[in-house]
Amino acid sequence: MTTGSTDKVSGAKALIKCLEKEGVDTLFGYPGGQIIPFYNELYDSDLRHILVRHEQAAAHAADGYARATGKTGVCVSTSGPGATNLVTGIATAYMDSVPIVALTGQVPRSLIGNDAFQEADITGITMPITKHNYLVQDPQEIPRIVKEAFHIASTGRPGPVLIDLPKDVQNIEIDLHYPERVELRGYKPTYKGNTQQIKRAAEEIANSCRPIIYAGGGVISSNASAELIEFAETIRAPVTTTLMGISSIPTEHPLYVGMLGMHGCKYANYAIQESDLIIAVGARFDDRVTGKLESFAPNARVIHIDVDPAEISKNVKVHIPIVGDAKQVLKSLIRYVQCCRSAEWIEKVNLWKKEYPLNYRECRDTIMPQFVIEQISEVCRDAIIVTEVGQHQMWAAQFFKYSKPRTFLTSGGLGTMGYGFPAAMGAKVGRPDKTVINIAGDGSFQMNSQELATVVQNDIPVVSVILNNGYLGMVRQWQELFYDRRYSYTFIKGSVDFVKLAEAYGALGLRAERPSEVRPAIEEAVNSGRPAVVEVIVECEANVYPMVPAGAAINEIIDLEEHR
């Protein structure tokens, strides 16, 4: 079924009108030869366009916008190298189930397959890292394709969709009929969980003595944080989260036991290993969580709630599968469950929390990176925290106190260095009311530091706090612990003066070299209302603890005390 209005417009203008119908307000992109017709029509549009300085940043910015707002992010590029520069950002969104729509220019239809100038088979290239993609062959199909693309990206398990638009298709005039509904045979996500399975799960919970709730990013993407908290409080069970699940429950909630896995809290790992029932919600039993699979939670039965049936029993055997949306399933489950026999269990978990707290070695004159995170947490309690990838990412997960969902954005599945800064830019555009802090390493920040030009030109006051330890820190840590301190090509100290770099782009640049300088620098940056970079010179060989070595069980933990 279509809307009644009919207009004769070019394919490019039709695309813009379709984006407006979908409620898009912002695009992140970079023009080029094969997408010029679209940009020509964009000139007269009310859509906001943020001109990035590299297409990878456009994809990450759309991703950050989507995670922070819950809406679908949109990025644009031209053909060939422009389109392939989006690939890392698309793969990042795919691995973390983030809804984005990527629009790419393509050579005219008559040249496709002829190795034309700036031609790349972007639909073939991105097929493994998109939920779906389209090569538009008929300009009259643009409205239907756009409607489908946004539906697919944002429903079921969210993810990226790509639309490839040949240049001639953008120029041909069509009659614009925008569909009111989407009908896709074979794509019918299940949202309501099976009632009998939910009742079985409730019985299993009632009979459990040591249950634990294991929450992942699906809780956040389905806006199920309130239901997760109510469910945990109803059955009185501890809650642990994946990296992607952080902020789904307040850090200081009495039932929260922190992140689990390779760099998770010791007490979270102990709790899941000794549990007799795991209630997994919107999580996929990733290898960084399970460690050695044969040793993972050996005495636990598993209830798995997930909107994607492909994830159930993929890595860990599931005893009671419930396919459905986390929010809807938890609402239903709450009606059937009651407090289980877990008082002694909660006491034991709380004892572990007291016995094995997260800590770090304090120094009087040297800035410890964990201290910086604590200072950011105190100064900017309700901020959206975005991270690059590396040691700083884990410290941000461990030491910042999160109170609301969609306030921790990070590349979990792909582990993309260079994600944080452009994602923070997108988050700030989507949530201008929030303070947005990008926590970075000196290695990761340089991956997309050119976006300082973008935030300055567009007056996007993102604050980047760079923990400068002079190394590619996480790789160096592995080299220290497992490769006899053979620091092969991980030393990057002195490679750039980040204060001067910020100032060269017109941003505020600050530096902290002593512990007493950290908080004032963060406060000045946040209160300036400008794009800002705070370079903090931290202890160069600080490590992330706890740590589970690769291939070990998650209760075989290296901690700080063993490596003082």
Position of tokens 């400068």?
468
Average pLDDT over residues 342-359: 93
Question: Which runs of E-coded beta strand occur in 346-407?
Answer: 384-387
pLDDT band at 1 (very low <50, low <70, confident <90, very high): very low
Can you tell me the distance from the alpha carbon of 547 to that of 480, in angstroms, rounded to the nearest whole number? 13
pTM: 0.96
Does position 100 have pLDDT exceeding 80, yes or no? yes
Does position 365 have pLDDT exceeding 90, yes or no? no
Enumerate residues 6+ apart whose C-beta is below 8 A from 94.
Answer: 129, 130, 131, 159, 160, 413, 414
Report in angstroms the alpha-carbon separations of 8 from 140, 177, 364: 11, 10, 71
Q: What is the pLDDT of residues 84-94, one digit of tens each?
A: 999 999 999 99
Q: What is the pLDDT of residues 212-255, one digit of tens each?
A: 999 999 999 999 999 999 999 999 999 999 999 999 999 999 99
Report in angstroms the alpha-carbon separations of 407 from 154, 241, 396, 480: 19, 14, 12, 32
pLDDT band at 442 (very low <50, low <70, confident <90, very high): very high
Q: What is the pLDDT of residues 506-521, one digit of tens each?
A: 999 999 999 999 999 9
pLDDT band at 342 (very low <50, low <70, confident <90, very high): confident
pLDDT band at 562 (very low <50, low <70, confident <90, very high): low
**In contact, 454 and 460? CB cutoff 8 Å:** yes
Does position 188 have pLDDT exceeding 70, yes or no? yes
Can you tell me the distance from the alpha carbon of 281 to that of 307, in angstroms, rounded to the nearest whole number? 9
Mean pLDDT, the chain, integer: 95
Q: What is the pLDDT of residues 295-335, one digit of tens each?
A: 999 999 999 999 999 999 999 999 999 999 999 999 999 99
What pLDDT was estimated at residue 4? 44
By annotation, the residues acting in catalysis are: 55, 117-118, 167, 474
